Chains A and B, each alone.
Chain A
Amino acid sequence: MIVGSIAGIGAGLAAIGAGIGIGNIGGKAMEGMARQPEAASKIQTAMLIAAAFVEAVALFAVVVAFLGTGQTN
């Protein structure tokens, strides 16, 4: 029997979204660094900030999923 809550699926879906987002950010940043290696440090800082914003969305979902699972018990 599979036991769990639907909140877990929600967290997983959010992880897909954040994965696409962070993948895009990382890929584009690498492209940028390859074109302009001298701007690498600036690109990296901007990349980390953008990744943090995207990641926050996934983490909101994780927190909501936790709250959701807590309710079912």
Chain B
Amino acid sequence: MDLSHIFNSKKIFRISFYAVLFSFLSFAAFSEEHAAADTSHAAATEVHAEPKEKDEDISKVILHHIADSHEWHFFGHVALPLPVILWTDNGLVTFMSDKFGHNDHGTELIDADGTGLVNYHGKFYYPAESKSADGTYISHDSKGEITNGKPLDISITKNVVSLLISVVILLVVFIGIANAYKKREGKAPKGMQSILEPIILFVRDDIAKPQLGHKYRGFMPYLLTVFFFVWLNNLMGLVPFFPGGANLTGNIAVTMMLALCTFVLTTVNGNKNYWGHVFTPHVPWWLYPLMIPVEIVGLFVKPVALMIRLFANITAGHILILSLISLIFILKSVFVAGIAIPFVLFISVIELVVGFIQAFIFTILSALFIGMAVEESHAEH
């Protein structure tokens, strides 16, 4: 018996084809960037003979890299300043993030149009009355928690800019494709259409139809949006230089909004059958006090699990890649790069596949939850 039956499944072939294709598209860029980053870092450590990179700092550096920030760092001391918009006690305060220098140790008072602020680890606080023992205007309580007040931060941060960039890309690509379908109705797809048509059909035939049945049509716009949004941002998060580099899908607020959309859709579209399952489950009546709370908790756990799954997967991937690069600095030898960098490349390629799989899983679980909500009752319950 030959092995060709493994590839008989069109879907498996399609998934692997796209995963491999997109892996190798970015592969070259990755290797170059990592090589460049490696040499520049190595040079930097030699120039700065002072023990600047301490072991304990590395986890801070990693967390700093995956966190949101008020500026978009390119290389060295080159960064794109982004507007800071704060709702303070004195009303709206706006300024560019580089206006008051780059001191984020909380040692310098900022006077933004009469509102005193202090920048501590990239976050803006109201300063304490006087400097504390460590020379900062930040006061801590006995547990080490910051007690300073905080203005409401609605700044256009790195993540927000990245979000807007991805929205623009998605709008341009998909409005273009939609127009192409209108113009070339009944004809073979062309250009961008031919690249994306199999993926759109994949979302329709393998995600929407099996989970939603004949009602799939109304939910296709949402499923397609969420699939391409998550996928594009997963990939952009892996690109280490400008248009990418923001850890958008690794930000729990972003994944929370996505999960909330699914939650709202399931709750709004839930039919009699769905709510019947929650409030009158098919169990003996004396189990109701147990089952109804469990079912209600289940309503909320599903989107929470969606949120945490995407957030933790992407964050874990980024931390893994950064930790492997940090091995060079932990072991303080350039030669570790010989092992670390190929490993980073390997993990990066795996992350490209994970980016696709997570987008797929987010979409299919959304479809599954919506499908549970709109499902008609079965005879056998």
Interface of B is mostly: helix
A44 cross-chain contacts in B, Cβ below 8 A = 9, 11-12
Interface of A is mostly: helix
B12 cross-chain contacts in A, Cβ below 8 A = 40-41, 44
On whether the beta carbons of B360 and A48 are closer than 8 Å, the reply is yes
A53 cross-chain contacts in B, Cβ below 8 A = 305
> Which residues of B (1-15) have their CB < 8 Å from a CB of A?
5-6, 8-12
On whether the beta carbons of A48 and B364 are closer than 8 Å, the reply is yes
CB distance from B41 to the nearest CB of A (A): 24
Digit string of A18-50 for contact with B (CB within 8 Å is 1, else 0)?
Answer: 000000000000000000011011101100110
Given that A45-B364, A49-B368, A62-B316 are contacting pairs, would A55 and B309 also be in contact in the complex, using a CB cutoff of 8 Å? yes
On whether the beta carbons of B357 and A59 are closer than 8 Å, the reply is no
Question: Does A9 make an interface contact (CB < 8 A)?
Answer: no
Question: Does A13 make an interface contact (CB < 8 A)?
Answer: no
On whether the beta carbons of A49 and B361 are closer than 8 Å, the reply is yes
On whether the beta carbons of A48 and B357 are closer than 8 Å, the reply is yes
When C-beta atoms are compared, the residue in chain B nearest to A70 turns out to be B63
**Chain A interface residue count: which class?**
10 to 19
Q: Which of B9, B361, B364, B365 contacts A41 (CB 8 A)?
A: B9
Q: Which of A38, A40, A48, A56 contacts B305 (CB 8 A)?
A: A56
Distance between Cα atoms of A42 and B206 in the complex (Å): 9
On whether the beta carbons of B365 and A49 are closer than 8 Å, the reply is yes
On whether the beta carbons of B309 and A40 are closer than 8 Å, the reply is no
On whether the beta carbons of B9 and A48 are closer than 8 Å, the reply is no
Closest 10 CB pairs of A and B: A59-B312, A41-B11, A37-B5, A41-B9, A52-B361, A40-B9, A56-B309, A56-B305, A63-B312, A62-B312
9 A-B contacts (beta carbon < 8 Å): A37-B9, A44-B12, A49-B361, A52-B309, A52-B365, A56-B305, A59-B309, A59-B313, A62-B312
Residues of B within 8 A of A (CB): 5-6, 8-12, 144, 206, 210, 305, 308-309, 311-313, 316, 357, 360-361, 364-365, 368
